[in-house]
Chain A
Amino acid sequence: MGFQGDFFQLLKDQGYQFDIPTPRFGEHGQGALPPITQGTTVLALKYRDGVLVAGDRRATAGNMIMYDRTDKVLEIDRYCVMAIAGVPATAFEMARVLEHSFKYFRRSQLQDLSFEGKLRALSKLMKENAPAALAGTGAVVPVFAGYDHQHGCGKIYFHDILGAEFEAVDHAVSGSGSSIIRGIFHYLNRWSGQPIAGLDEEEASIIVLRLLASAAEFDSATGGANIESNLYPIIKRITEKGVETIPAEQLKTLFTTKVAQYV
């Protein structure tokens, strides 16, 4: 019966291999691991009307900047996104598998996959990927966020590299700039008198831009906004209506008035 709507199993049956056997570098005199492209920093937070998920645009390999226009907030379907930190090669492939899996489930089973089902699908891929993650060639640490229609609310989950999932109460961060952001989150929620969960979309977006600017300030692997090139972080909002990207023009206005020269 169509593998009960399991697209990943269908792919495997047709000879597709997700987990490529990975050599362990540094053992038996094979030399050190070559620089691997990585992406950082991503975050998700709950605000008044739903969830905002954001990421900087930089991808690095060792000391080198590979790319400054990466979109790390990947839309998997209309109601969920996966924000990725780690190796993009693996993360993009995961996103592609998930996107097709969710569509295949809906079309074959004639019902939408539940939010828990989507989360489980990601955990399964993470588990398959564990050997590559441990070898250092394919570690991905995603933040998964979406709208849960069964419970009528936005949800955020974060993962470790082996695929354990943790539900975030109000925010989640991942990537090399995350420790910087976590401290600020803690400070804002505890002592600012304005917990982030109560902010409206504009206020929350300003916080997001400032957090990513702070991460870029102290973490060389996180890219900041680039006004000359008109490059800003990616911010997506998830509400009952689905996933929408906040337009770059809006981010530009917020950035120039509330982030760049705001004292």
Chain B
Amino acid sequence: MYDEPYRWVEAVGNRRQYLDEQFRQGSPLVAVSYVDGIVLLTTSHGTPKLYEIYDRIGLGGMGHPADLEKLRFSILDMAHTEGFQRSPGDVTGSRLIKYGMAPAIKQAFEEIYKAPYITKLLLAELGNLPNQDNFYTVDYDGTFEEHHEVAVLGATPKSQDTMRAYLKEHVTPTMATLQSVLEVAVRAWALGALSQIQDNENSDSSSSENKETQASNDSISEEQILEHLQNGLKDKTLECAVLERQAPGSSKYRTIVQQDIHSLLPFLHPTTN
């Protein structure tokens, strides 16, 4: 059936549609580099989506939890055997992504008789200085990109662009406290989530050709963001992790516990006091 070339191209196209559909309800992911380290932020329904990979490397993902687990284990195996057989300094985000994750994900994506990985990955690598921090994102088709300062994952290109633009505008190199970074990151996350909702509505209503109303919906106000953060998070867990530059010992990754997230972001719960 797919043995003719154009059939194959068609099948891959179908696969894109199918995968895009899978991510529609996914939670965006935000990563920001600052003076003391890197902040990763997303939301989840019970199963965590942020993970420690190696001494200075953290991973976040969108998509199917089982696929994410499978890829997480293979990246953990790769990092730890390399770190043991050579040295921890040789375990770099670039190698893990370019020679490990991306080819595997691409192969699964293009083998149209088998199931693809329903995942998008973001790998954060802590440097000694903020300008040495690296981010790598891998899309479901294996396309990878390298980023600095900020990086995001979102269901749609527009959601990603909106988050990235917001972060670029609000993140300053002098940001010194975890709290100030979290405040920006969580707003960027909400913006991404709202943008995805808009995209979903637009694609649902695109058949009815209401292009004018779409354009007016596109700008999202600060009030909408706050509203979404206060009400849209009720059935979800806000998840945060940091890679701390000055942490003692070799492992720099730390999950921020719920209690600390709440005290760092009090505006999320205006009714509690």
Q: Using a CB–CB distance below 8 Å, which chain A residues touch chain B? A: 1-2, 7, 10-11, 14, 16, 77-78, 96-97, 100, 103-104, 106-108, 110
Tell me, rounded to whole Å, the shortest Cβ–Cβ distance linking B1 to chain A: 34
Pair count A-B, CB < 8 A:
38
Report Cα–Cα, A11/B48, bound state, in Å: 27
**Given known A103-B251, A107-B53, A110-B48, contact A2–B77 (CB-CB < 8 A):** yes
The reply to whether B84 and A97 form a contact with Cβ atoms under 8 Å apart is yes
The reply to whether A100 and B249 form a contact with Cβ atoms under 8 Å apart is no
The reply to whether A107 and B52 form a contact with Cβ atoms under 8 Å apart is yes
The reply to whether B73 and A104 form a contact with Cβ atoms under 8 Å apart is no
CB contact list, B221-267 vs A, under 8 A: 248-249, 251
Q: Which residues of A contact B51 (CB under 8 A)?
A: 107, 110
**Given known A1-B73, A78-B249, contact A7–B48 (CB-CB < 8 A):** no
Tell me, rounded to whole Å, the shortest Cβ–Cβ distance linking A133 to chain B: 22
The reply to whether B73 and A11 form a contact with Cβ atoms under 8 Å apart is no
- Which of A77, A104, A110 gathers most chain B CB within 10 Å? A104
- Which of A1, A16, A97, A108 gathers most chain B CB within 10 Å? A108
Residue of B nearest to A7 (CB): B80
Report Cα–Cα, A107/B79, bound state, in Å: 11
Residue of A nearest to B88 (CB): A100
Report Cα–Cα, A78/B251, bound state, in Å: 9
**B112 contacts A by Cβ under 8 Å:** no
Report Cα–Cα, A97/B85, bound state, in Å: 10
The one of B55, B76, B83, B85 that contacts A2, using a Cβ cutoff of 8 Å: B76
Interface string of B36-54 (1 = CB under 8 A from A): 0000000000001001111
For the complex of A and B, list the 3 residue pairs with the smallest distance between their C-beta atoms, beginning with the closest: A2-B73, A100-B84, A107-B52
